[in-house]
Amino acid sequence: MKSAVFFVAFVAAVAADKIPDFLVPGKCPAVNEKALFEQQIPNHSKYAGVWYEIALTNNPYQLLKQCVRNEYSFDGSKFIAKSTGINADGNLMRHNGQVLPMPLGDPHLSIDYEGSFTAPYVILDTDYENFSCIYSCVEFNYGYYADFAFIFSRSPKLSDQYLRRCEAAFKEIGVDVSRFTKTVQGSNCPYDTQKSL
């Protein structure tokens, strides 16, 4: 249903010659999702826990702008996700969702947060203990696609060696790493309060 609503909005925008800036002409890059997913399935339980958002590409669906902290609880088949942080108005906010296998059997996870549409969640690279590089790409009719990318860390700061690994993973599939903006993290973030949201 959410995908249908998004598609209707997209068609309306195209009809009005006003294409959202996150839609670009072309197709999603080729990613060997099957090989990645086969390596990751046995390790899904190790992916659970807290992940801090270190950087992301332009994403109108990301309502949290600073101090973004994601908690993933794995139940054996899917992750229950609780994301907290500070929104554009400067208020603390909680956003609930889930990360689960694609329902039609595509070889990757999908992400489904309230108020958004279900989208692919492809882990390009992770060591499960320090960093994760996440990519999501959806193709639409009329030759357009939307892609979003994230760099996560197990702590509010990510060392350069892991940042470079994510940059390499994104460059390998043709994502321009200059598109990333850093997410504010650090000592001014109310992480203790966020845990209780």
Output the domain CATH number for residue 145. Answer: 2.40.128.20
**pLDDT at 3 exceeding the cut of 50:** no
**pLDDT at 10 exceeding the cut of 70:** no
**Does a structural domain hold residue 181?**
yes
**Does a structural domain hold residue 160?**
yes
**Does a structural domain hold residue 135?**
yes
- Whether the full predicted model's pTM is greater than 0.85, yes or no, is yes
CA–CA distance, 173 with 133 (Å, rounded to integer): 12
**Is there a contact between 120 and 145 (Cβ–Cβ < 8 Å)?**
no
Candidates 107, 121, 39, 116; CA nearest to 79 is 121
**Does a structural domain hold residue 65?**
yes
Compute the mean pLDDT over every residue in the chain, rounded to the nearest whole number: 91
Structure tokens at 170: 């994104």
pLDDT of residue 111: 95
**Is there a contact between 120 and 106 (Cβ–Cβ < 8 Å)?**
yes
**pLDDT at 34 exceeding the cut of 70:** yes
**Boundaries of domain holding 94:** 23-196
